[in-house]
Structures are given as C-alpha cells and as structure tokens.
Structure 1
Amino acid sequence: MTVDVVLPCLDEAAALPGVLAALPEGYRAIVVDNGSTDGSAEVARAHGARVVTEPRRGFGAAVHAGLLAAEADLVASLDADGSLDPGDLPRLAALVLAGDADLVLGRRRPTPRSAWPFHARVANRALARAIRRATGVALHDLGPMRVARRGDLLALDLQDRRSGYPLEMLLLAVAAGLRVRELDVPYRPRTGRSKVTGTLRGTVVAIADMRRILSAHRERPAHGRQGSEPRS
C-alpha cells in the first residue's frame, strides 16, 4: 500500500537527495518547505518529491501542512536532515497495519552517541518522565519519526504549530484511546547545521513549548483527559 511521508524542511538541500533516495517502495515523499533559502524545494522536486509550501514558521506548522496535503490512509513523518533512515518506516507501519498500535514512534538510539547532543538527551529524558507521569504510557523518546492513520491524526484536531506539536499529538492520542507504541531506530549525525534541538537555543525554545503543552494538559478536567478506552 502507499504511505505518505511528511518531511518538514528548512534548508535541507544537502540532506534531501539521500533521504529521498532511501524511501522504501510505496512510500511517497511530501516535502514541506518551511521558508528555505538554499533551494531545498527545487532539490526535492528534482528527486521526485511532492513539495508543499508552508510560510508559517514552526515544526508543527510544517508537519500539519503535510498531514493536510497527504492522501494515503497511512501517514509517516520524520526529519529531513538525514539523521533518521526512512528504511525503518516499514517496521513502524507494520504495527499499525497489523492492528497492534495506532500511533508508533521511533525511539532514537544514537550511533554514535555524539549524534545526539548531551543537552538534548538530558531534556528528552526529563520530558519522557513527565509524559509517563501524565499519561501512564511507558515512553522513552518523543521522537520525530512516527506513523499513524491520517484519519486518526486529523480527528485529534491538533492546534499547536510550534515545537509542542509532537507532544500535543501524543497527549491527545492517549486521551482519545489510541494505542501508542515505540520501536528502536538508529539516530545518526545529521547533515548540515542543526536549527532546532541540536542547538542550545533551539532546545530551550522546545522545552518552553513542551512545558506549555503539558501545563495545558494538566489543567484540563480529569474526564477530559481520560478519553475512551484503548482500542483492542
């Protein structure tokens, strides 16, 4: 079956050829250009990707634009910087297709360890603990590689358009009774300069966005957070 793969993109011209070439058969790239100035959109088109332009800056804005543009029943997303291997997507998709999960996340395993900056790893561990307390889901990483059915994601009515988007997706998915799983995936050094969590400033901004989403989640009435029972 066809799977649409959303690739949020800000100045990733150097990484895109390798990422797009690594997509498995049946996995269709939707590159969401989020204000690139290095010709990323042209590179993406030259390598067969569909390009969507999202002028509003933000990780959530880019990913959600790709979700809206997707047409396949199953939608995947991952960073366009070469740090994640698109070849791992079928393992995640298989859990959804088999009915064993509704939202599958790739748990990043850095190879080498330096691929994931220390400050980002520390922040991620703290976030994972907060997620476990808030949801009861045994999650270790709020990674950028994920697979779910498009209809399930659209039904969540996601509102954040910044770095809080992945966390909002997870919290609302759990509240809606979706079954969340994670699988280990290798995490490699990215191609080019990091613009978000690879920098200290980007990590600080992401943490602030995550705290805002978690705070809003805690303030919701308990019955509004429980949602339905997980699907069987």
Structure 2
Amino acid sequence: MSAPPRTHESPAPVDEPGPLTVPSSREAAGAWVDVVLPCLDEAGALAAVIAGLPSRCRAVVVDNGSNDGSAELAAGLGATVVREPRRGYGAAVHAGLLASTAELVAVCDADGSVDLADVARLAEPVVDGRWDLTVARRRPAPGAWPAHARLANRALALGLRARTGLVLADLGPLRVARREGLLALRLADRRSGYPLETVLRAHAAGWRIGQLDVAYAPRVGRSKVTGTLRGTVQAARDMSRLLGETR
C-alpha cells in the first residue's frame, strides 16, 4: 500500500534543528515498527515499557528535558534516544518521527499506562490496507483516567464529530500509521494539540481512520498533562483552538 496522499492545506515548511540522537544497540533496519515514546521524567516506568515491546519493534525514546536519568536508562535498555530540548508533546513526537526509520510508526505514552504488546494489533489494519491510521480507545482500569480528563475527552470527541463528521470515542494514548504518510501531513502543533491535529489532517487528506480498544492502566509516577486539572485545561485549550480553525 502506498503512503496516504498529502493534505491540500499543509503549512509552509519550517526550518527546525534536527534532534540529537543516541544510536540504539538494536539494528534499526530490522525494525518493523518504530515506537515513539515521548518522555519527561519517566524513569520509573521505562524498564517495563521497553520490555513490553513486541518483536521487531524498536523503542525511540524522546527525552523532553528529564531530570531523573530517563535518557540514560532508556539507552542502557537498548532504545534509540532522541533529545528534544523544546518542551511540548508535539515537539517530542515530531522529533521521534524524524529519527524513526521503520515503515510504520507507533506513538505511545511512556508512562506504563498502555501495554506495548498492543502495538502489533493496532498495526495490523494499517499493514493489510484496511486503515491508514489506527487510534486506540482507552478501556480504563479503576482510577486510571481522572474524571476531569474523561469529561474533556468526551467534549473533544463531540466537537470533532460536529466539525468533521468523524466518529471517534477517544484520541487515545497510542496511534499507528505509516511514517511517510505522517510526514506528508506536515503537522505543525508542538504542544498538546498534536494528537488532534493528526486526526484532523489525516481526515482532510482522505485517510481511513479506525479505532481499537486497549486496556488503560494507572500511569507510573506523576502525570504532567491530563492527570492534572491544569494540564487538562491547557490540553483542552490547545485542541479547542485546532477545532476552531477547522472548516
């Protein structure tokens, strides 16, 4: 299957510094899926997260300014480590996408809330040509998803449907698509709006988007975004801005 078409409303190119990459001890050429893991102080979760990688998947850990030794730990565990000094979820994911080399890329939280064994299952519909983008739908364990974050997600899903007609119950903590297709979307958001922009631009470009359930466990350590009320409000603002720009 060829890469999905470019969107016709892509922004102009932005000159950006390339990420500083520490090579992995695994052979990148042998990877089937590169799993981009944005990381900010996730040392407590990384060992179990990386250990859960399916075969022929490579961890691309993007350190976004950690102070707990996350980058060094990830490198010691065999991950490719990318250092992205610009703070922001979108900045970290974009740096990981640039550093990836596999045909398929998964983007997943590095906090231990999602079992990376699910990457293979979410990749299957992309590989066999049914979908161009698979988005996870959280099935949370008790206490895993704070009420304020659930409410914000529900409002976002309703706004997405109203603006585009696209029915997704959750933007999810895990997404899978072809790397070249994602690069062709020319995603510009470098903060919390990145997951929504991915879906909006993919939809505008005519991508087939599907959703599969994943178990969602309580994260390891302190949440920096949707686990806090302040982080949830900021993420909601970023995403509401993107929805407001959608016609």
Which secondary structure does the structure 1 equivalent of 2:131 belong to? coil
Alignment partner, residue 149 of structure 2 = 120
Matched, 1:209 2:208: no
SS at match of 2:81: strand
Matched, 1:198 2:237: no
Q: 1:84 aligns with which of 114, 133, 136?
A: 114
Q: TM-score scaled to structure 1, two decimals?
A: 0.92
How far the C-alpha of 1:144 sits from its partner, in A, is 2.1
CA shift, 1:171, in A, is: 0.4
Q: Percent identity?
A: 66
Among 47, 55, 80, the residue aligned to 2:85:
55
Distance 1:121 1:213 in 2: 19
Shift of 1:136: 1.4
Aligned position for 1:18: 48
Whichever structure has more helix as a proportion of its residues is: 1
Amino acid at match of 1:66: G
Alpha-carbon separation, structure 2, partners of 1:87 and 1:214: 32
State how far apart, in whole Å, the 2-side matches of 1:132 and 1:58 are.
26
Q: Which runs of 5+ in 1 are unaligned?
A: 219-232
Query: What 5-or-longer segments of structure 2 have no aligned partner?
Result: 1-30
- Distance (Å, rounded) in 1 between the aligned partners of 2:163 and 2:67: 39
Once residues 138 and 36 of structure 1 are traced to their aligned partners in structure 2, the CA distance between those partners, rounded to angstroms, is: 36
Let me know the Cα RMSD of the aligned residues: 0.7
**4+ runs of 1 displaced by more than 3 Å?**
none
Count of aligned pairs between the two proteins: 217
TM-score normalised to the size of structure 2? Answer: 0.87
Q: Which residue of 1 aligns with 2:177?
A: 148
1:144-186: CA deviation from partner (whole Å, max 9, x where unpaired) = 2000000110000000000001111100000000000000000
- SS of the residue corresponding to residue 172 of structure 1 reads helix
Please give the residue correspondences for 1:1-232 in structure 2 after superposition, counting only pairs within 5 Å: 2-112=32-142, 114-218=143-247
> Aligned AA for 2:203?
V
